[in-house]
Structures are given as structure tokens and as C-alpha cells.
């Protein structure tokens, strides 16, 4: 007879992305076992065990570039010559710097998620960001990441602490 071992199905790893146009953090839920002391005397200590799930950051937060990086480019704008005279003046860029920074940041987040999914670091994904950012992000996500999205919440919750963020997540994941 074969000595078969049943493989228990691996619990899916859920990542929760919380982002706005300037910062992003990825969280996962970890079951935390806590021993809470209950009433008792010095000889007999009684504890109550809880198994709450807490949000734990996955890696470092991602940040958009500072607008100061783009100031150098603004200061070195090309000169424009007028044909009517000998006047020279600075040409204005036709691109909104804030939009350019956000677009680059969205690509950075998408690239990070695409790479992590390819490396099987997560199975399911929850996206929390303002609606416009969610739309821009979806344009750059790979197929496997798109298929792993289990929920979206179009809100800016980057300012929330872990407990209030967890409260928002109770309804969706």
C-alpha cells in the first residue's frame, strides 16, 4: 500500500492595497493569538485566548516622487523666440506635473503588483483607492492580477490606522 498524505489546501494569501495619488501600502491579514489575563489569585492565573485577525503591512510603503524632482525640468525649459521681434521667453510645459507624477506612481504600483503576483506572493487582492486612481490602476494591471481582484472600495483610506481600516474591510473581505 502507498503511504498517501492528503495535502491540505493552502489558505489563499490576500493582499489589501490602500492607495492615493501620493502613497500606497499593502497589508495582509494575520491571525494573532492573544492571551488576555482574567481574574484570578496569585497562585492561579487564568487566561482567555483570542484569535483576532489584524492587518499587517507587507513590505515598505510606496511613495510617489516629490514634485521638487520635476522643478529642475521646469527651470530648464526651452527658450521660445518670437518672430515679430528679438524677445525671448520661457516656454510653459503642456503637461500638468501633478498628473504626470500620479501617472508614474500608478505604473509603479501596478508593476509592483504584477511582479508580486507572478512570484505568487498573493492569490487574492483587495483594492482601496479613490475612484479615478482605481480606473488608472486597472489600465496597467496584468491579466493574472485582474483575475485575483476580489473586491474594490473607491475611498481614500490612507489616513486610517489599522483598526479603522479593518472596520472598513469587514463588509468587503
At 145 the three-state DSSP class reads helix
> What does the block give as the cell for 34?
492573544
- State which residues form the domain around 145: 14-33+50-169
Residue 116 pLDDT class (50, 70, 90 cuts): very high
The answer to whether residue 165 scores a pLDDT higher than 80 is yes
Check residue 161 and give its pLDDT. 87
Residue 3 lies in a domain: no
Q: Does residue 130 lie within any of the structural domains?
A: yes
What would the pLDDT profile of 30-57 be if each residue is shown by its tens digit? Answer: 876 556 566 655 555 665 555 566 889 9
- Residues 140-165 have a mean pLDDT of 93
Q: What is the mean pLDDT of the chain?
A: 79
Instruction: Report the SS3 class of residue 63.
Output: strand
Distance (Å) of CA 136 to CA 7, 20, 63, 141: 40, 11, 17, 9
Residues 25 and 12: their CA atoms lie apart, in Å, by 20
What mean pLDDT comes out for the span 128-140?
A: 96
- Looking at per-residue confidence, does 64 or 111 come out higher? 111
In this structure, is residue 1 part of a structural domain? no
Check pLDDT > 80 for residue 25. Answer: yes
Q: Is residue 4 part of a domain?
A: no
pLDDT of the residue at 74:
53
Residue at 2 is within a domain: no
Q: Are 15 and 25 in contact (CB under 8 A)?
A: no
**What are 1's three cell numbers?**
500500500
**In-domain check, residue 43:** no
**Is residue 66 in a domain?**
yes
150: domain CATH number is: 3.30.420.60
Which three three-digit cell numbers place residue 111? 508593476
Per-residue pLDDT, averaged over 155-164, amounts to: 89
Q: Whole-prediction pTM value?
A: 0.71
Number of compact structural domains in the chain: 1
pLDDT at residue 91 is higher than 70:
no
Cβ contact 18:25 at 8 Å: yes
Residue 42 lies in a domain: no
Predicted pLDDT of residue 54: 83
In terms of Cα–Cα distance, which of 14, 118, 101, 15 is closest to 63? 101
Amino acid at each position: 500500500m502507498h503511504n498517501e498524505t492528503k495535502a491540505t489546501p493552502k489558505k489563499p494569501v490576500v493582499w489589501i492595497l490602500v492607495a492615493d495619488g501620493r502613497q500606497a501600502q499593502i497589508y495582509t491579514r494575520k491571525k494573532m493569538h492573544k492571551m488576555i489575563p482574567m481574574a484570578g489569585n496569585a497562585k492561579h492565573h487564568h487566561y482567555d485566548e483570542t484569535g483576532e485577525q489584524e492587518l499587517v503591512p507587507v513590505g515598505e510603503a510606496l511613495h510617489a516622487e516629490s514634485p521638487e524632482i520635476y522643478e529642475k525640468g521646469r527651470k530648464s525649459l526651452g527658450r521660445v523666440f518670437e518672430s515679430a521681434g528679438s524677445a525671448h521667453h520661457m516656454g510653459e510645459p503642456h503637461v500638468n506635473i501633478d498628473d504626470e507624477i500620479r501617472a508614474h506612481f500608478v505604473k509603479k504600483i501596478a508593476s509592483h503588483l504584477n511582479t508580486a503576483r507572478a512570484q505568487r506572493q498573493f492569490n487574492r487582492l483587495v483594492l482601496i483607492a479613490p475612484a479615478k486612481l482605481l480606473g488608472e490602476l486597472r489600465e496597467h494591471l496584468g491579466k493574472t492580477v485582474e483575475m485575483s481582484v476580489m473586491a474594490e472600495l473607491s475611498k481614500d483610506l490612507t489616513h486610517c490606522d489599522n483598526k479603522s481600516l479593518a472596520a472598513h474591510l469587514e463588509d468587503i473581505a
